[in-house]
Amino acid sequence: MSTQVKLLSELKRGERGRILKIGSGGGLHRRLLDMGLVSGSEIEMERVAPMGDPIEIKVKGYNLSLRKEEAASIQVEVT
């Protein structure tokens, strides 16, 4: 089974993956970590707003909404 790496902002509804890397720095990086977005976490794309922003993902048993620009800094290995 092959895997591919995408940005979290590129996932389609229902796609699942594992977080590989969070590329942002500073306060945003810390905030994402505090929300449970750490390397190795399993995520699933739940929904995308009609205009594409924000997106909703499921991580560690809860749903989380992120701006598309925040999601674009997170690399995901799609499974």
- Top-level class of domain 4-78: mainly beta
* Domain spans, the chain: 4-78
pTM of the predicted model as reported, rounded to 2 decimal places: 0.85
How many whole angstroms separate alpha carbon 47 and alpha carbon 4? 21
pLDDT tens digits for 39-66?
999 999 999 988 888 999 999 889 999 9
pLDDT band for position 18 (cuts 50, 70, 90): very high
pLDDT tens digits for 32-46?
888 889 899 999 999
